[in-house]
Structure 1
Amino acid sequence: MKQFTLDDLSYNGAHQGVHSWSHPDGSNPYFWHPDWLHIAEDAMGLHPKKQLDVPQGEVATQEHAKRAIIDHLNEK
Structure 2
Amino acid sequence: MAKAVGEFKGGKVEFRTDRYGNVHLPIGKASFEASALVANLSAAIEELERLKPSSAKGRYLKKVSISSTMGPGIRIDPQRVSE
Choose between structure 1 and 2 for higher RCO, CA contacts under 8 A separated by at least 6 residues.
Answer: 1
Asked whether the two chains share a fold, i.e. TM above 0.5, the reply is no
Report the TM-score, using the length of structure 2 for normalisation. 0.30
